[in-house]
């Protein structure tokens, strides 16, 4: 199977190793991967901040770049949620209606694609940690793919997943809140970090690089002993 790979712009700029590990994962499960070097952004930040015209302009570019009848896999649920859930308000019954529907149908978050399209659960991974699995708001509310991450991580050797009986609180990075109210978003992130540490975790795992970047910034500033890592990096960490 040939798939297209869409890398979130912030991942490309700040965490390129996670992008490379996403490529390794897809190849490991038997996919041929096409990467369009002209891709840029899905428009999520502009949409969240109310700049719908600018988001639509960026979205038109993305839609035109992914017009093959094949899956588009992305290691960032925020981008997938933007394409699936927010593009309809901009492109439904537009001149790009059919083109946007094609992209919307094929756009998949990485773990969702691995589990529900490729029917993979055991990647042959090992990662030693006591970890909390961070289901981002985009995963739980917009995409409902948190069970896919759980399925993949449950097969990782030496990894202990610590349950949160009351549920994982929001980290505060979503919806553009990190750009609008720094004090509140930092407070929310610190509450999540504190809860994870009290539960005995030494690692936070998520499929959302935006959440991980936000939390890692708080951790580094406060010199805390907690790691953050993307699920793609966990699943490929033990491969030679």
Task: Walk me through the domains of the chain, giving residue ranges and CATH numbers.
Answer: 2-116 (no CATH), 126-236 (3.40.50.1860)
Per DSSP bridges, beta strands 72-74 and 126-134 are unpaired
For residue 103, the surrounding DSSP H or E stretch is: helix 97-106
Q: What are the structure tokens assigned to 30, written together?
A: 């038997």
For residues 202 and 173, what is the distance between their CA atoms, to the nearest angstrom? 21
- The per-residue pLDDT for 240 is 65
- The per-residue pLDDT for 166 is 67
3-state class (DSSP) for residue 230:
strand
For residues 129 and 142, what is the distance between their CA atoms, to the nearest angstrom? 28
The backbone region for 159, taken as left when phi is positive above 0, alpha when psi lies in -120 to 50, beta otherwise, is beta
- The per-residue pLDDT for 41 is 95
In the chain (240 residues long), the average pLDDT of successive 10-residue segments reads: 96 95 97 96 92 95 96 96 95 95 96 96 95 85 83 96 80 75 88 92 95 94 95 91
3-state class (DSSP) for residue 121:
coil
For residues 201 and 133, what is the distance between their CA atoms, to the nearest angstrom? 10
For residues 159 and 144, what is the distance between their CA atoms, to the nearest angstrom? 23
For residues 109 and 92, what is the distance between their CA atoms, to the nearest angstrom? 22
For residues 58 and 101, what is the distance between their CA atoms, to the nearest angstrom? 16
For residues 40 and 46, what is the distance between their CA atoms, to the nearest angstrom? 13
* Burial label, 197 (beta-carbon count in 10 A; 0-12, 13-18, 19+): middle
């Amino acid at each position: 199977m040939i798939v297209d790979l869409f890398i979130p712009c912030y991942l490309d700029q700040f965490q390129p190793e996670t992008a490379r590990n996403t490529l390794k994962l897809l190849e490991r499960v038997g996919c041929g991967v096409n990467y369009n070097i002209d891709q840029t952004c899905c428009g999520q930040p502009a949409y969240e901040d109310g700049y719908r015209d600018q988001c639509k302009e960026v979205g038109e570019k993305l839609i035109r770049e992914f017009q093959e009848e094949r899956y588009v896999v992305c290691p960032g649920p925020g981008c997938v949620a933007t394409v699936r859930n927010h593009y309809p308000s901009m492109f439904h019954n537009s001149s790009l209606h059919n083109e946007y529907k094609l992209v919307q149908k094929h756009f998949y978050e990485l773990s969702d694609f691995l589990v529900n399209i490729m029917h993979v659960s055991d990647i042959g991974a090992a990662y030693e940690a006591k970890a909390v699995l961070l289901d981002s708001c985009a995963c739980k509310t917009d995409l409902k793919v948190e069970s896919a991450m759980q399925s993949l991580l449950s097969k990782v050797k030496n990894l202990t997943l610590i349950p949160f009986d009351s549920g994982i609180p929001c980290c505060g990075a979503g919806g553009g809140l990190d750009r609008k109210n720094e004090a509140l978003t930092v407070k929310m992130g610190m509450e999540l970090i504190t809860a994870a540490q009290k539960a005995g975790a030494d690692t936070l795992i998520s499929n959302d690089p935006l959440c991980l970047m936000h939390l890692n910034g708080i951790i580094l500033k406060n010199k805390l002993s907690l790691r953050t890592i993307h699920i793609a990096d966990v699943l490929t960490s033990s491969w030679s």
